[in-house]
Structure 1
């Protein structure tokens, strides 16, 4: 079943509300015109494969592909959607996007030589039980929930591998017709013992440089004032596109804010929804 959607119909927005949409949301709205209703009642966007319809320059993509395949033959195994994400991350600058992508291919060979990371390599971080995945938002994007107070500073190399494991896992669960995921970062109980600036910066670097245009939105909830000290140290390393996807949510508006973007049937029960959280390693 296909359903035509428009943002004005979906949210019944007033002119004032329309002015409050972010540029990122407006760009995403242009990426799809219809959704498929899944058995669980969620709507999965169907993205038009036509680059013209997505306002991307088909010629630039072709030039980028020819160049990167000439530099690294493994680029032939990559689909146009991945190259398009790197192009978007560099504002359609072919030279910058190509350099970014070739660096990613080299990084991937050294970081994930066998193509995957085993849970046996991540015993400490998995024992913290800090990352979960359950449900999808109204755009069909998988929902990840992370509990900041469960993270402890430890071996940086293992944490980096844990971050890669998580990103590979969630990206493999992104449904047909979608390219992004959303995350709820729960900081209730966060304290200085959880402050891991090196780890945060490393995770941010991997997300932005190796998995560009994968994060759709990050909701930071139950944010204690003490967290802002760490935030000020991390903020300068966040690129503009990622900053536009981060939203600090007031406690009193938590459920209503999440329900704006997530159906109650898909919202984790920790926030008043219907679904139980599932540890990332069990997804």
Structure 2
């Protein structure tokens, strides 16, 4: 079974720039799939290398100096299971230099500052019992998958951590979690537990995946009430998880946060600013799809992934395409056998368009069946469109995605499964 498209007009002669479609024009799905590649802009942030041959001589000297300082310590120091001052006769561990470089970069390669930071981190981990936190039940199971959670990975293999604090606009929920010092301490420990899961998913090897992606949802976030907790979380992570975040994506950003970012921008380093990605409400899926494949983006952010879906391994890849303003795209999935069942999920970033599905028998003169009557899908749609259909005769499923009423280009993705008839 392969997706095809409805017949399209003959292509226009090639030009330097493709002609813009007129309002209401229909375009093939293949054209939309090709256009989708334009969404993958070159990353503004170039992740640091941990390969020795790629490091400048000054960085290598700082790394050697930090190793020499640590070698004077009588006790063995280990962070995230990585020995940082192993005995001279111990076999080399390629992870050691990766962790040391993270501390050096966090302090602009000032060796003594990086050394002091590393020792404070090791002391905090011992006092906090950070190595044991992964095995603890801290009583926040109901916040898993809502407030802070690891889910999937980006297009380059970085684990992705999602953060959303809008649930705390409810006063009862806020009091239950932050009502006193003990509750706040337990929440901070739980938040460190999530971070530790992310670190454990890293390779910490030269040329490997050595940082995570953070996606922070600012929708309904009660800023004033969470100030104390957010400041403590930020301080903990800055002091004890250096260079562990490759990119910070802020989604559902209110207009006043956009103004704030523009105001503080002159005071941020280019390195810091290059890690930031800002997505206003209504532009979340398009932004996330640039960095994360749709089948790994949670459904609440316009993707196809549900909470428990990754437990059985990587999901089936989705096909991506774009629909320009004023376009209607037909997607055909043909070669369906009699008795086969096809299930399909489709998402469109920003929605606000019309969708319908029908089944067309292969036999000439067969009756076309309505799988889903054409309907308007609102911008606020919280779930992918889901269709399931069992064919009584061979044929194809035809989906219509009509963006004629909008002038805005939209990203979209779909995937389908066919269960063949049993013998």
Between structures 1 and 2, the one with greater helix share: 1
- Distance apart, 1:278 and its partner CA: 5.1
- Distance apart, 1:277 and its partner CA: 2.7
Q: Is the CA contact 1:220–1:248 (under 8 Å) kept in the aligned structure 2?
A: yes
Change over 3 Å in CA distance of 1:100–1:53 after alignment to 2? same
- Distance apart, 1:106 and its partner CA: 0.9
Q: Is the CA contact 2:254–2:280 (under 8 Å) kept in the aligned structure 1?
A: no
- Distance apart, 1:203 and its partner CA: 0.6
> Which protein has the larger Cα radius of gyration, Structure 1 or Structure 2?
2
Alignment deviations for residues 222-259 of structure 1 (CA, whole Å, 9 cap, x no partner) = 23467789x89xx89x9855554233212232211111
Matched residue, 2:142: 127
Change over 3 Å in CA distance of 1:278–1:201 after alignment to 2? farther
- Distance apart, 1:142 and its partner CA: 0.7
Q: TM-score, normalised by structure 1?
A: 0.71
Matched residue, 2:218: 187
> How far apart in 2 are the matches of 1:85 and 1:187?
28
Which of these residues, 76, 97, 100, is aligned with residue 117 of structure 2? 100
Matched residue, 2:133: 116
1:264-279 equivalence runs, <5 A: 264-277=294-307
- Is residue 105 of structure 2 the alignment partner of residue 74 of structure 1? no
- More displaced stretch, 270-279 vs 145-154: 270-279
Matched residue, 2:246: 216
- Distance apart, 1:12 and its partner CA: 6.8
Determine helix, strand or coil for the equivalent of 2:235: helix
Moved over 6 A (4+): 226-229
> How far apart in 2 are the matches of 1:106 and 1:169?
20
Alignment deviations for residues 13-40 of structure 1 (CA, whole Å, 9 cap, x no partner) = 9xxx77xx64xx13x1x63xxxxxxxxx
Determine helix, strand or coil for the equivalent of 1:222: strand
- Distance apart, 1:111 and its partner CA: 0.8
Q: Is the CA contact 1:191–1:226 (under 8 Å) kept in the aligned structure 2?
A: no
Between structures 1 and 2, the one with greater strand share: 2
Determine helix, strand or coil for the equivalent of 1:52: helix
Number of residues of Structure 1 aligned to a counterpart in Structure 2: 237
> How far apart in 2 are the matches of 1:243 and 1:160?
26
Q: Which runs of 5+ in 1 are unaligned?
A: 1-10, 32-48
> How far apart in 2 are the matches of 1:227 and 1:278?
32
Matched residue, 1:138: 155
Q: Which runs of 5+ in 2 are unaligned?
A: 1-36, 85-95, 169-173, 314-423
> How far apart in 1 are the matches of 2:151 and 2:130?
29
> How far apart in 2 are the matches of 1:118 and 1:150?
25
> How far apart in 2 are the matches of 1:59 and 1:183?
32
Q: TM-score, normalised by structure 2?
A: 0.49
> How far apart in 2 are the matches of 1:146 and 1:218?
11
Alignment deviations for residues 22-73 of structure 1 (CA, whole Å, 9 cap, x no partner) = 4xx13x1x63xxxxxxxxxxxxxxxxx5323144622221210121232363
- Distance apart, 1:131 and its partner CA: 1.7
> How far apart in 1 are the matches of 2:200 and 2:268?
24
> How far apart in 1 are the matches of 2:104 and 2:119?
12
Alignment deviations for residues 124-153 of structure 1 (CA, whole Å, 9 cap, x no partner) = x44334222221111110111122112433
